[in-house]
Amino acid sequence: MTKQFSRRDALKILAAGVATTTAGCISRSGALNNNAFNKGAVSKDTTDRAPLTRTVVDGWRQRHNRVWLGGEYWANPMEDWRLIDGGAECIDNGGNRSVHLLTHQLVDPKQRFTITTRLQQLDVGSNDGGASIRIGVRSELNEYRSNVFAQNGVDAGVVGDELVIGNKRGKLNQAIADQAIELTLTGTPQVGSSALKLQVRLVSSNELIGELEHLLAAEDIVGNVAVVSNFTIPVVEYGDDAKTSEGRYRFSDWHLSGAAFNNKPEQKFGPILWTMYTLSDSRSEQGFVMSLSALTGPMGEQDNHQVELQVQQDGKWQSVGTATLDPDAWTATFRINNWNEKQQTPYRVIYREQLVDGSELPDIYEGVIKANPVGRPLRMAGLTCQNDYAFPYEPVANNVVKMDPDLVFFSGDQLYESHGGFGVVRAPAAPAILNYLRKFYQFGWAFGDAMRNQPTVCLPDDHDVLQGNLWGEGGSPMPERAIAEDTVDKTGGYIEPVRMVNAVHRTHTAHHMQPHDPTPAKRGMSVYYGEMIYGDVSFAIVADRQWKSGPEHLDIIVGTSGNDEEPNHFNPAFDDPSLSLLGERQEQFLQQWSEDWRGHKMKVLLSQTIFASLATHQWKADYYLKYDFDSNGWPASARNRAIEAIKASKALHLCGDTHLPSLSQYGVNQQRDSNWAFCTPAIAVGWQRWWLPDSVGLNNRNRPQHGLANTGEYLDSFGNKNYVYAVGNPVVSEARNRYVRAHERSSGFGFVSIDTDAKTYTLEAYKFMVDATDGKASNQFDGWPVTIHQQENTGANKLS
């Protein structure tokens, strides 16, 4: 929920409590000066050997009942776990539901350790998957965030009438059924190995009912530590009828101790997960408006639902006020009018967690609101498409932090349906939202430091609403027939409930400026298109799929229609002027925006994807797919209307989505008569695309002077005119290391410098595994960097 404040309101109130002290608080500071945050992100390496010197206790007894287990934990998946009466209960009978500890990893097997937890089977059935303590969970990176999704490790637990350590089993002295038991796992170092001992006791009598020992190689136990419900049953995605498990478990009083563990409290994720903010000139009596959203995990009814924002003035923290958490999106949003844009201002967001005993535990998240960047070029990062095989994308995230841009732009696909595993919940709305939030949280977990100190524009795209393709039809629901026939990637409309879509919009855009016209779309679906003026640049933000017409209007079968046609043939049956791309509302907004030059010198259009079909091959490098109706080269008439609407703006179009970095210039009436478009590299390419027009014989003219293949003037498959200046085609990669695979697939990020005095845009396209600050030419894709002049966006071309 959003709370509006004036600057005068903000300065009236001196913060109480944590405003002058941080005693007893949890503080996660961002950099508060340029020298500090130019050093880059804090390392996430789990091998830090600072040992644990105390016993760690879960603290769940002091938390209220809720979904979110706490900042020290990651639940797989979040929506299947609840804090209930002081314990973590799995509410789903599926296999391999786990809770990982984030602040301590087992890093030194040459030291002793002890892990204890109490557990109880809640549903007793014939298909019991057991419960365990799991150690040695690690990805190939052995990095704590990526570790939580690794499907490996050593289980020490109980299943049926047996106790288990790894592949060794023993018999319990008696059946457990629904009795509460306590597991204690100890590790004692041996030469190159660790001697593990598991003891099982009844909680009611402390009677020892089983003991098992096993010797494992030292390297086998290094990594994350977790507790697991149904550890012997594989994960089955939601909705799969093969899921038959009848067991589920509750865990409580989870303790661990020993110098084998590290101590990394800074790895805590929440209650405040991250923040996003924007700064925009309203060109009204409201002056510059600073809008900030803080995101928390899903809290409970008895938890505090208020978040406080403070700013530092003259060395003292002053309270702006509080905002209420939205009960679906779990965002608290502040808008402050008449913000002093001339100075950089430290801020902090405070959530005071109310504990069961009546005490409070404040969580403090700090950052800076940048000064409005005028009198110099505005520098911005462009990012898109985060397939989670490369999570947490450290090379890209660290580069963005080090480069310290004035603005960060995420153009869409901050998540995919496959994020974190376990599948997709479609309905009803409440569990569907939790399923979405858990996937979305990986985005903030990876890029929180890149957003902490920079204004951020964050657009939802098709995968963010958990659809492979989206033709939004102005907010219409997808026909039930399409869902039943599993043609959802070929049909217009939204699959998810509108309440869930609105939660997606709030988590992504609540911190944006107010929409140009906030009138909801169909069924009460929220809208977010509008203008942001920052750094002498006006940014138009549009939703280029929310109003897009579905292919069924022309009886098109996506993936099939037109595939037998010759590459240089353009089928007139695949266009109709009545079809929509941006929709009438957004077309009118862009026409108005293009002609309004108050308060700025240059313009940029921000949207999800390019107004062209710049891919000839998809999935495999030798698979030619002529028509991609998901691209915004279709519908062609609506594409041309969109470009005509922005031509007077002289704007660069900055976008993403295609998993293929490209720099091109639109043509409508003739080649190269309109705006340039920079489609930035994907952070982590999943579905691969190639632009290989020369290999299929597409007609080509006027190749650029650099002579790179597959460049020059082309007509795409819908007959749209495009001058392709540069493209970053990938190679097929199945490298085991996630970062190498992402690099070879043409992943990376974009960077744009806008010089409002010289009237130029300098465009850079960086590869995934580089240090973007060392100046090496090989850091960028072939054809970049490029500088274009503002007038070239009208067809007055200098670049050739």
Cβ contacts of 124 within 8 Å, gap of 6 or more = 177, 178, 246, 247
| C-alpha–C-alpha distance, residues 238 and 242, integer Å | 10
Task: Please report, for the domain that includes residue 340, its CATH number.
Answer: 2.60.40.1930
pLDDT score for 39: 30
Please check whether residue 44 lies inside any domain of the structure. Answer: no
| C-alpha–C-alpha distance, residues 475 and 473, integer Å | 6
pLDDT score for 125: 73
Q: Are residues 302 and 410 in the same domain?
A: no
* Measured torsion, CA atoms of residues 262, 268, 269, 272, in degrees rounded to the nearest 10: -170
pLDDT score for 236: 86
**Burial track 364-374 (b if 16+ CB lie within 10 A, e otherwise):** bbbbbbbebbe
**Using N-to-C axis directions, what is the helix angle for 498-509 and 429-452, rounded to 10°?**
10
CA-closest candidate to residue 432, choices 505, 503, 358, 486: 503
Please check whether residue 173 lies inside any domain of the structure. Answer: yes
For residue 651, give the amino acid letter.
A
| C-alpha–C-alpha distance, residues 653 and 666, integer Å | 10
Q: Are residues 450 and 486 in the same domain?
A: yes
Say if residues 548 and 619 touch (Cβ distance below 8 Å): no
Strand partners, 202: 181
Q: Are residues 67 and 110 in the same domain?
A: yes
C-alpha separations of 594 from 289, 574, 643, 785, 790 in Å: 22, 29, 11, 27, 13
Phi/psi for 386 (5° steps) reads: -115, 80
Please check whether residue 42 lies inside any domain of the structure. Answer: no
Domain boundary residue among 263, 295, 315? 263
Please check whether residue 45 lies inside any domain of the structure. Answer: no
Please check whether residue 457 lies inside any domain of the structure. Answer: yes
Domain boundary residue among 335, 369, 403? 369
| pTM for the structure as a whole | 0.94
Q: Are residues 507 and 613 in the same domain?
A: yes
Task: Please report, for the domain that includes residue 148, its CATH number.
Answer: 2.60.120.200
Phi/psi for 195 (5° steps) reads: -90, 115
pLDDT score for 25: 47
pLDDT per residue over 96-141, tens digit each?
999 999 999 999 999 999 999 999 999 887 789 999 999 999 999 9
Q: How far apart are the first and last CA of the chain?
A: 50
| C-alpha–C-alpha distance, residues 664 and 633, integer Å | 13
Please check whether residue 46 lies inside any domain of the structure. Answer: no
| C-alpha–C-alpha distance, residues 584 and 549, integer Å | 12
pLDDT score for 33: 35
* Measured torsion, CA atoms of residues 633, 545, 644, 409, in degrees rounded to the nearest 10: -100
Say if residues 297 and 91 touch (Cβ distance below 8 Å): no
Q: Are residues 548 and 468 in the same domain?
A: yes
Q: Are residues 768 and 662 in the same domain?
A: yes
For residue 166, give the amino acid letter.
G
CA-closest candidate to residue 791, choices 659, 682, 709, 672: 672
Q: Are residues 189 and 294 in the same domain?
A: no
Domain boundary residue among 347, 369, 391? 369
Please check whether residue 51 lies inside any domain of the structure. Answer: no
| 676-679: strand order across its sheet | 530-534, 537-541, 602-609, 652-656, 676-679, 662-667, 721-727, 712-715
Q: Are residues 684 and 556 in the same domain?
A: yes
Q: How many CA atoms, within 13 angstroms, populate the side-chain half-sphere of residue 75? A: 27
Q: What is the mean pLDDT for each group of 10 consecutive residues in the chain (800 residues)?
A: 54 37 47 32 53 92 98 98 98 96 98 98 86 98 98 97 98 94 98 97 98 98 98 86 71 98 97 99 98 99 99 96 98 98 98 97 99 98 98 99 99 98 96 99 99 99 98 97 90 98 99 98 99 99 98 95 95 98 99 98 99 96 96 99 98 98 99 99 98 97 98 98 98 92 98 99 99 97 98 96
Q: Are residues 540 and 651 in the same domain?
A: yes
Please check whether residue 799 lies inside any domain of the structure. Answer: no
Task: Please report, for the domain that includes residue 684, its CATH number.
Answer: 3.60.21.70
Query: How many domains, in total, are found in the chain?
Result: 3
| C-alpha–C-alpha distance, residues 626 and 566, integer Å | 9
Cβ contacts of 525 within 8 Å, gap of 6 or more = 475, 494, 498, 501, 502, 505, 546
pLDDT score for 37: 26
Helix, strand, coil shares of the chain as percentages rounded to 5? 20, 35, 50
Cβ contacts of 110 within 8 Å, gap of 6 or more = 189, 218, 260
Say if residues 483 and 497 touch (Cβ distance below 8 Å): no
Q: Are residues 483 and 334 in the same domain?
A: no
pLDDT score for 2: 67
The alpha-carbon radius of gyration of the chain (Å, integer) is 27
* Measured torsion, CA atoms of residues 454, 394, 445, 218, in degrees rounded to the nearest 10: -150
Q: Are residues 239 and 299 in the same domain?
A: no
| C-alpha–C-alpha distance, residues 80 and 434, integer Å | 9
Q: 240 lies in which domain range?
A: 56-263
Strand partners, 605: 540, 653
Three-state DSSP at 186 gives strand
Q: Are residues 296 and 349 in the same domain?
A: yes
C-alpha separations of 475 from 28, 285, 312, 545, 608 in Å: 39, 34, 42, 10, 17
